[in-house]
Amino acid sequence: MNFINKLNAAWAANDSLLCVGLDPDMERLPAQFRGTPDGIYRFCTAIIDATADLACAFKPQIAYFAALGAEGQLERISAYLRDKYPHIPLILDSKRGDIGATAKQYAREAYDRYGADAVTVSPYMGSDSVEPYMEWNRGVIVLCRTSNPGGSDLQFLEVDGKPLYQHVAQLVADKWNSNGQCALVVGATFPEEIHAVRAIVGDMPLLIPGIGAQGGDIEATVRAGRTDAGTGMMINSSRAILYAAPRAGEDFAAAARRVAEETRLVINAHR
């Protein structure tokens, strides 16, 4: 099943627009996982098991694995997800961008090595840098209006009378999405821009990080980004779920589940 169909099915099956981010920071992992050869794998799979019925996608951020030489554990996590929860899309967050020949290798890394359903990419090297991804029948999620404050430095520059991020949205909607496999990244920290992007791209899915640890407003995000069907979004939260402070009697996985469940509820209240 291609990424968009799988995402549509996961939205419906789990009644969820929540994407659970897998950003395993060794310094924040519970003590039993630190300094062990497969601690990242055991932590991430426990989080997956605790939240798989609440999520529409999982999104590992590759830097947290690569920085520690833990790509092998990411391969095993990806295989675990595909095997145990084949109906939940796996988004590899690697934000690559390079010339075509190199992009071809990055696409193989995402789709072949990790078996990802979709990958995040940077648009700034232009069409030939994203074409190698398009050749696979998988998802391509293009950075548009990122959640960080510095995103405004370039994405907000006015070009031909409108901000650059809107040109990216238009380009992806009009040209790059000819096979219907694209999505865009728009930060929850900028609901007005989510609204503007939604107006440009119709029902195209939006990956929306920035709630939770970055403080984005869930209600404003959902109101700005929902489609007529009340879907259209993968609203990502990583640290707020992974490192939820356990309450009395809870362990880290139960705390992660509680926060994921609360987050899904708030999202659904405004769909």
Ligand X SMILES: O=C(O)c1cc(=O)[nH]c(=O)n1[C@@H]1O[C@H](COP(=O)(O)O)[C@@H](O)[C@H]1O
If one counts every other C-beta atom within 10 angstroms of the C-beta of residue 221, the result is 27
CA atoms within 13 A on the CB side of 270: 17
Q: Residues 45, 73, 129, 146: which binds ligand X (CB under 6 A)? A: 146
Q: How far is the CB of 190 from ligand X (least distance, A)?
A: 9
Q: Residues 209, 218, 233, 255: which binds ligand X (CB under 6 A)? A: 209
Q: Residues 61, 73, 181, 263: which binds ligand X (CB under 6 A)? A: 61
Q: Of 14 and 238, which CB lies nearer to ligand X in the complex structure?
A: 238
Q: Of 56 and 185, which CB lies nearer to ligand X in the complex structure?
A: 185
Q: Residues 45, 221, 236, 263: which binds ligand X (CB under 6 A)? A: 236
What is the 8-class DSSP label of residue 70? -
Q: How far is the CB of 249 from ligand X (least distance, A)?
A: 25
Q: How far is the CB of 228 from ligand X (least distance, A)?
A: 25
Q: Which of 6, 84, 95, 104 is catalytic?
A: 95
Instruction: Report angle CA 140, 142, 144 to the nearest 5 degrees.
Output: 160
Q: Does position 232 bind ligand X by CB under 6 A?
A: no
Q: Does position 263 bind ligand X by CB under 6 A?
A: no
Q: How far is the CB of 63 from ligand X (least distance, A)?
A: 8
Q: Residues 237, 244, 252, 264: which binds ligand X (CB under 6 A)? A: 237
Report CA 3 to chain centroid distance, whole Å.
Answer: 13
Report the distance separating Cα 168 and Cα 260, nearest Å.
Answer: 31
Q: How far is the CB of 216 from ligand X (least distance, A)?
A: 9
Q: Which of 161, 167, 230 is CA-nearest to residue 193?
A: 167
Q: Does position 147 bind ligand X by CB under 6 A?
A: yes
Report the distance separating Cα 72 and Cα 216, nearest Å.
Answer: 33
Q: Does position 221 bind ligand X by CB under 6 A?
A: no
Q: 191-201 and 164-171 helices cross at what angle (nearest 10)?
A: 30
Query: Using CA of residue 97, residue 102, residue 107, residue 110, what is the dihedral sign?
Result: negative
* AA identity, residue 247: R
> Nearest 10 degrees: CA dihedral of 64, 67, 72, 74?
10
Q: Does position 238 bind ligand X by CB under 6 A?
A: yes
Interface region with ligand X, contact rule CB under 6 A, candidates 29-37, 106-114, 142-150, 218-226: 142-150
Report the distance separating Cα 186 and Cα 144, nearest Å.
Answer: 6
Q: How far is the CB of 91 from ligand X (least distance, A)?
A: 8
Burial of 37 (C-beta count, 10 Å sphere; 0-12/13-18/19+): exposed
Q: Of 39 and 209, which CB lies nearer to ligand X in the complex structure?
A: 209
Q: Is 162 a catalytic residue?
A: no
What residues are annotated to the active site? Answer: 95
User: Which residues would be at the binding site for ligand X (CB under 6 A)?
Assistant: 21, 23, 61, 93, 95, 120, 146-148, 185, 187, 209-210, 212-214, 236-240
